[in-house]
Amino acid sequence: MERLSDDEIEANLEGLEWERRGDAIERELERESFAEAIAFVNAVADLAERHDHHPDVLVHSYRKVRLTVTTHSVGGLTARDFALAAAIDGLG
């Protein structure tokens, strides 16, 4: 998997609700309750297992979930990161 160029990263971010943070992309979502936040995290975990690509997950303020995606093995962003981000967006 090859690391994407800055132009490729910007092109991949178009239309997504993710933001670039250095060598990663990040999205924060808010759910109605703590239980819904955890259920969402569990759905992300199942999806990540199917993709064999795992985001960093932070649950904070009891109902907010911050997801950070990068490809650690190449030290930056790859097409795999954007595929996972799009799949996560499909969870709703």
Output the domain CATH number for residue 78.
3.30.1360.20
The arithmetic mean of pLDDT across residues 46-70, rounded, is 98
Structure confidence at residue 1 as a pLDDT band (50, 70, 90): confident
Q: Is residue 69 part of a domain?
A: yes
Whether the per-residue pLDDT at 92 is higher than 80: the answer is no
Instruction: Report the alpha-carbon distance of residue 72 to residue 24 in Å, rounded.
Output: 9
Q: Is residue 23 part of a domain?
A: yes
Task: Provide the number of structural domains found in the chain.
Answer: 1
Whether the per-residue pLDDT at 32 is higher than 90: the answer is yes
What domain range includes position 53? 6-89
Structure confidence at residue 13 as a pLDDT band (50, 70, 90): very high
Q: Is residue 82 part of a domain?
A: yes
Instruction: Report the alpha-carbon distance of residue 37 to residue 59 in Å, rounded.
Output: 7
Average pLDDT, the chain: 97
The arithmetic mean of pLDDT across residues 44-54, rounded, is 97
Write out the two tokens for 44: 């992300």
Q: Is residue 1 part of a domain?
A: no
pLDDT value, residue 2: 96
In sequence order, what are the residues at sequence separation of 6 or more whose Cβ sits closer than 8 angstroms to the Cβ of residue 31? 37, 39, 40, 63, 64, 65
What pTM value is reported for the model? Answer: 0.94
